[in-house]
Structure 1
Amino acid sequence: MPPSHTSSFDAEAAADLTRRYGHLDGAALLRAVAHEVFPGRLAVVSSFGTESAVLLSLVAEADPAIPVLFLDTGKMFGETLRYRDTLTGHLGLTDVRTIRPDAADLAGADADGLLFQRDADACCHIRKTLPLDRALDGFDGWITGRKRFQASTRAALPLFEADGGRVKLNPLASWDRERLDAEFARRALPRHPLEEDGFLSIGCYTCTERVAPGADPRSGRWAGQAKTECGIHVSRLSSPTASAPASLDA
């Protein structure tokens, strides 16, 4: 069993989990990790975006009481908030937690709500990274819905990875678009209402655009910028914002 979060969960421990559980898939993998490895100490982080329903359906099949953390940055599409509620009821998830940025952080760094225009990284840091770090306190592992096909930056995504002392499980890492679509159909899962309008990867409405046909599904996120990730999937050990000065974090 991996150490509690008071200890360090490293790459060697992640590799060991891959050896022990890498033969499992879907709900069986989630059930084993949730009950055998991190009982009561595993959470799901979900954006309730265009591909989220498949992972959340597998979570509900494994254990509908696994906590699901949803980051409401204050700049989410109304359609996403309604989709969160729809999926929660449809799947029977019993512990969906909406996480919001700290009011003092917003007052100090984004009083006018336009920080995303001045510094998108700093905006993501106070609206997503810091709230998630607080929400993950007490958890030793968390589940993501990331997949290798989504972007070139995710092409080498492992099943288990060490991240800032915790373990991160990416159960859909090897899934392709065809398998994902087949699972949507097989499980009769509702789609995000913005998907048919060309939004293939959905975050804040301030930094999300439609995706051109055939383009990288994440090309509509922070379009025109070098930025490709919000920061919650950048290791806390290597992220430049992890040791940012107080003026940025305020």
Structure 2
Amino acid sequence: MAEAARRIDLIDVNPRFVMAEAVALNNRFRGVDTADMLRAVLTERLVGKAAVVSSFGAESAVLLHLVASIDPTVPVLLLDTLKLFPETLAYRDTLVARLGLTDVRSLRPDPTALAAKDATDLRWSYDPDGCCEIRKVEPLARGLEGFDASITGRKGFQSATRTGLPRFEVEDGRMKVNPLASWTKTDLDGYFAAHDLPRHPLEAEGYLSIGCAPCTSVVKPGEDPRAGRWRGWDKVECGIHSDVPTENDPIF
């Protein structure tokens, strides 16, 4: 009960946006080039004060480059769970320097929560949902306070649970923008090549979706790019994103 109350406290009780506004934005930008859409969103402040939520993972450079090309001062939030690969933290530093990002914030879990709920640092091994709640969900909720919208790097092709991802959706009263929703792996590779962007050092080793070190494994041939996350568990998301709407949903 206390856990549920804590989660409610982290949700803004005064919604900034409603679904009808996401529908309107999806309609306005239907067929519009991603860079043009993102430029309008940021320069016209169509979703208010926005922050990018980035894992600094295998494909993160594309969204970060798009945003930095428009406004490098846009805040970028990294969930530093204290269990990230050292290569990810090094890659963050590489991209910050390369793209000129000026406001990258590391969101870490609350030390009191860690001491009370994960004193052994092993919760990931028996309760990955609980671990993600402490190390990702709660820190992001705090980090997004004061922002009207988040911008994510999710793509529809990444897994079956992300198929049909819309560009705009509303979650807990905030607008969530998914600029790369319809991009394919070919699109991403082409963008990396066109802009000579550095790759995450673990991608060459077969890590196609990179999260916390204990819960990330190499993706096997023919698997979804996110198949290496939480392998062996009935879990496909960390909890910071809601389920993707179906194509019959009015958000489209």
- Indicate whether the TM-score tops 0.5: yes
**How far apart are the structure 1 equivalents of 2:64 and 2:198?**
12
**How far apart are the structure 1 equivalents of 2:35 and 2:108?**
28
Deviations 1:137-191 (A, max 9, x none): 0101110000011000000110100101001000000001111100000000000
Q: Which residue of 2 aligns with 1:246?
A: none
Deviation at 1:18, TM superposition (A): 1.3
Deviates more, 1:103-112 or 1:73-82: 103-112
Indicate conservation of the 8 Å contact 2:48/2:149, yes or no: no
Indicate conservation of the 8 Å contact 1:70/1:96, yes or no: yes
Residue from 173, 184, 195 that aligns with 2:203: 195
Deviations 1:92-134 (A, max 9, x none): 1111111111111101110110111121001000100000000
Deviates more, 1:15-24 or 1:182-191: 15-24
Q: Percent identity?
A: 57
In structure 2, relative to structure 1, the CA distance for the partners of 1:106 and 1:38 (3 Å cut) is farther
Q: Secondary structure at the match of 1:24?
A: coil
Deviation at 1:10, TM superposition (A): 2.0
Indicate conservation of the 8 Å contact 1:49/1:202, yes or no: yes
Indicate conservation of the 8 Å contact 1:59/1:66, yes or no: yes
**How far apart are the structure 2 equivalents of 1:40 and 1:144?**
15
Q: Which residue of 1 aligns with 2:227?
A: 219
1:118-197 equivalence runs, <5 A: 118-197=126-205
Q: Which residue of 2 aligns with 1:30?
A: 38
Q: Which residue of 2 aligns with 1:46?
A: 54
Q: Secondary structure at the match of 2:131?
A: helix
**How far apart are the structure 1 equivalents of 2:81 and 2:162?**
23
Q: Gaps (5+ residues) in structure 1?
A: 236-250
TM-score by length of 1: 0.89
Q: Which residue of 2 aligns with 1:113?
A: 121
Indicate conservation of the 8 Å contact 2:47/2:175, yes or no: no
Deviation at 1:19, TM superposition (A): 1.9
Indicate conservation of the 8 Å contact 1:27/1:61, yes or no: no
**How far apart are the structure 1 equivalents of 2:194 and 2:238?**
31
Q: Which residue of 1 aligns with 2:249?
A: none
TM-score by length of 2: 0.88
Matched, 1:93 2:101: yes
1:65-104 equivalence runs, <5 A: 65-104=73-112
In structure 2, relative to structure 1, the CA distance for the partners of 1:5 and 1:92 (3 Å cut) is farther
Deviation at 1:9, TM superposition (A): 1.8
Deviations 1:66-87 (A, max 9, x none): 1000010000000000000000
The number of residues matched between the two structures is: 232
Q: Gaps (5+ residues) in structure 2?
A: 1-11, 244-252
Q: For residue 107 of structure 1, what is the amino acid of its counterpart?
A: A
Q: For residue 94 of structure 1, what is the amino acid of its counterpart?
A: T
In structure 2, relative to structure 1, the CA distance for the partners of 1:8 and 1:94 (3 Å cut) is closer
**How far apart are the structure 1 equivalents of 2:14 and 2:46?**
14
**How far apart are the structure 2 equivalents of 1:79 and 1:94?**
21
Deviation at 1:11, TM superposition (A): 1.6
Q: Secondary structure at the match of 1:37?
A: coil
